[in-house]
Each structure stands twice: as structure tokens, then as C-alpha cells.
């Protein structure tokens, strides 16, 4: 009898333990579901925030009230090309950084979007032109390009920085890398909200950090290191083959496909120190040959305008116009814009040889040693007070 009572007790105890374990399992599942719901809600909130603010402009134009920080050319230019309102684009390297795009609307009536890539190669230009013409098509009135002729000797598929493919394509499924990106949330949404004083000026995107006091001869010479001398003079056609490959793949197809668009291509006015390097390296014939070949190719198209600022002595020979040996003051950018409007310094099939001949003469005959005689030369900057 006692044994039976013990057996019944054990059965009841086992049943009680089983019911308790079931309750614990139910509570655990309920907690797990709740926790998962919180996680999913958090992800949904992050996604909604990124899509709503859209600091890389992948889904819509900028919100009028948000203090956007635009400082990431590779990742933000694609969205700007896709969704901003514009009729023209300004493309190129840091040679375009000091331009104010309001000037183009002021003097040419063309609402222009800056889409610069510091140190850009022709492939960078092609990548962004793909997006520009896909977004705007025949509504693109003008494309303004700073032609850094040295980069046209690079590889046809070479880019300055790795391309973030998911921001350049139209595949929404790979956008998770953008939507759930910690850097995007912290540095391009929360940081601007917390410190809106750093918000970007839409007319002066990517402008350099140099203020006016950095543009002077003393500062330029302080950091300039002359190139090492070359062994022998390069032939005139040394760069031509590489240039033709880049033109054929990365530039000319867009000119040909969009005859309704005017292309304004300009050779930036690097300072006389650039030509000091060219002559020291014994590349003068080759550089002029490259410029000559490019110019002749460009001028074969009726919708192309080519401007040469390399031989404007008031600019290139006055180092007070520069922050280093190639980067020029915004006054020069304004002058270039005005030239687009009035045709000053424009090359034609009739005058381009003489123009480049003058550049070569300046580079070959300049007294480079005299540059160091007066480090604090007080010559006023070019175009000061002209606009």
C-alpha cells in the first residue's frame, strides 16, 4: 500500500514538472518572439529614417529643411545625378571644386549641378555621364568638363576611387548596404542634425577648405617640390595611343550620342610650376602633342567647345592666384565661367595650333629661377573685383 502511494506521488510530481517545463518553454518562445519583434522594428525604423532623409539621394530630392552634409563624391554624386533639378552639369577633378554653380545660371541661363571627383580619370567622367543622361536625357543642355589632360593617358577602366556599385545601379535589392549602413546613419543623418552649422551650400559643393589667405606665392613655394629631371625628351606622339583609347571609350560616345547637348571642355590653368615640372621631366613636346591631338579630336564635333587657359600669363605666372602649384582661386573659376559665355580663350580649328604654340613657348622660355627671387611678391590676384 505504501509503495503504491509513492508511485502515485511520483507520477503526480512528474506531471507537475512536465507542466512547469511547458510553461517555461511558452514563456521563452513568447520572449523570443517579442525580442525578435523589437529587433525587426528597430531595423524597420532605421530603414525608414534612411529612406526618408536619404542623405545619398538614392530615392528622392533633398528635403528642404534637412541640413545635408555633402562631402562624399563617390557615394553622393550618383544620387545627385539621378534626382536633382538641373539643365547642365559640371564634371571633372578638383579643378572644378571652387566653382559656384549659380554663376552658370547667372551668365548662361543654365541651372547647373556640380558632380566633381577629385583626381578623376576619364572613366569617372563616363560613369557619372551614364547616370546624368539616363536621368535627364535630351534635357541636358550643357556638360562642362575640366580636362586634366594628364589623366587621359591612364587606363580606360581606371577610376580614382573604387566605385560603390549599389549606388550607381538601379537594383533596389542591393540597397540594404546603404539603408543599414552605420556610417550613413551616424555621419550623414544624426551628425548634421546635432551640428547643422556644417551643412553644405548647394552652389559650392565640394569646395576646398583653403580660405583666401592660403592663396599666395609664399604658401605655394613652401610646399612645392620640383620634379626629378628626366633622362631624354619624350617624342610628340608619346601619349597619343593611350589618349585615343580613353576618348574612344569614355568621352566621345557621349558627345556623339547627344548632339543636342553642348559640351564645354576646358584645359585648366595650372601654374607655371606645373610647366617647370614638365620641362624638367623632358615631357614638353609630348604634353603639347597630347593637347594638340585631343583638341583636334574634340573640335571635330559641332556640339563641342574647347577652351584653353594654360597660356593666360596673368593667371599662370602669378602664384598669388594659387593655394598650391595647380589649384587656383575661385576668381579664376569665375573668369572661366564668363569665358564660356562670351567665347574668350575658345579654340577653333583655325587658332588652336597657335594657342598651343604660345603655351609651349611660355613653358620652354620661362625664367624659372626668377620665381624664387621674391617669395612675397605682392601682385594682385587675377580678376579681383571684376565680378
Which pTM does this prediction carry? 0.91
What pLDDT is attached to residue 43?
79
Beta-carbon count within 10 A of 32 CB: 10
Q: How far apart are CA 86 and CA 105, in angstroms?
A: 10
> Can you give 58-69 as a three-state secondary structure string?
CCCCCCCCCCCC
What pLDDT is attached to residue 16?
57
Q: How far apart are CA 86 and CA 265, in angstroms?
A: 19
What pLDDT is attached to residue 222?
97
CA nearest to 322, candidates 367, 280, 377, 278: 377
Cα separations (Å) of 218 from 79, 96, 102, 320, 378?
40, 24, 31, 8, 10
What pLDDT is attached to residue 172?
85
Look up residue 328 and give its DSSP letter. Answer: B
What pLDDT is attached to residue 42?
76
Per-residue pLDDT of the chain (387 residues; tens, 9 = 90+): 555 555 555 555 555 555 566 666 676 677 567 656 667 777 799 999 999 999 999 999 999 999 999 999 999 999 999 999 999 999 999 999 999 999 999 999 999 999 999 999 999 999 999 999 999 999 999 999 999 999 999 999 999 999 999 999 989 889 999 999 999 999 999 999 999 999 999 999 999 999 999 999 999 999 999 999 999 999 999 999 999 999 999 999 999 999 999 999 999 999 999 999 999 999 999 999 999 999 999 999 999 999 999 999 999 999 999 999 999 999 999 999 999 999 999 999 999 999 999 999 999 999 999 999 999 998 999 998 888
Amino acid at each position: 500500500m505504501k509503495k503504491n502511494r509513492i508511485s502515485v506521488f511520483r507520477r503526480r510530481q512528474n506531471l507537475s514538472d512536465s507542466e512547469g517545463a511547458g510553461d517555461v518553454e511558452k514563456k521563452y518562445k513568447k520572449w523570443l518572439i517579442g525580442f525578435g519583434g523589437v529587433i525587426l522594428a528597430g531595423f524597420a525604423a532605421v530603414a525608414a529614417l534612411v529612406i526618408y532623409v536619404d542623405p545619398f539621394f538614392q530615392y528622392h530630392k533633398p528635403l528642404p529643411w534637412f541640413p545635408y552634409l555633402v562631402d562624399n563624391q563617390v557615394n553622393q554624386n550618383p544620387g545627385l545625378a539621378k534626382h536633382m533639378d538641373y539643365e547642365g552639369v559640371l564634371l571633372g577633378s578638383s579643378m572644378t571644386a571652387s566653382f559656384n554653380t549659380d554663376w552658370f545660371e547667372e551668365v548662361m541661363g543654365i541651372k547647373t549641378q556640380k558632380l566633381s571627383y577629385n583626381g578623376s580619370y576619364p572613366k569617372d567622367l563616363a560613369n557619372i555621364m551614364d547616370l546624368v543622361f539616363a536621368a535627364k536625357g535630351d534635357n541636358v543642355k550643357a556638360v562642362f568638363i575640366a580636362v586634366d589632360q594628364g589623366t587621359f593617358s591612364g587606363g580606360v577602366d581606371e577610376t580614382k576611387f573604387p566605385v560603390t556599385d549599389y549606388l550607381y545601379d538601379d537594383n533596389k535589392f542591393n540597397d540594404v548596404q546603404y539603408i543599414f549602413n552605420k556610417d550613413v546613419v551616424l555621419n550623414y543623418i544624426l551628425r548634421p542634425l546635432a551640428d547643422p552649422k556644417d551643412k553644405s551650400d548647394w552652389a559650392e559643393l565640394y569646395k576646398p577648405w583653403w580660405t583666401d589667405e592660403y592663396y599666395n606665392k609664399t604658401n605655394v613655394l613652401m610646399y612645392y617640390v620640383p620634379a626629378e629631371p628626366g633622362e631624354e625628351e619624350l617624342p610628340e606622339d608619346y601619349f597619343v595611343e593611350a589618349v585615343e583609347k580613353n576618348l574612344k571609350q569614355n568621352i566621345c560616345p557621349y558627345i556623339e550620342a547627344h548632339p543636342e547637348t553642348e559640351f564645354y571642355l576646358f584645359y585648366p590653368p595650372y601654374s607655371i610650376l606645373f610647366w617647370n615640372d614638365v620641362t624638367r621631366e623632358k615631357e614638353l613636346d609630348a604634353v603639347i602633342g597630347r593637347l594638340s591631338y585631343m583638341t583636334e579630336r574634340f573640335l571635330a564635333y559641332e556640339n563641342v567647345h574647347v577652351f584653353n587657359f594654360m597660356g593666360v600669363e596673368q593667371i599662370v605666372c602669378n602664384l598669388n592666384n594659387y593655394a598650391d602649384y595647380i589649384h587656383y582661386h575661385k576668381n579664376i573659376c569665375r573668369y572661366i565661367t564668363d569665358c564660356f559665355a562670351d567665347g574668350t580663350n575658345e579654340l577653333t580649328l583655325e587658332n588652336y595650333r597657335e594657342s598651343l604654340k604660345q603655351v609651349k613657348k611660355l613653358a620652354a622660355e620661362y625664367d624659372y629661377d626668377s620665381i624664387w627671387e621674391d617669395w612675397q611678391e605682392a601682385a594682385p590676384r587675377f580678376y579681383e573685383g571684376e565680378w
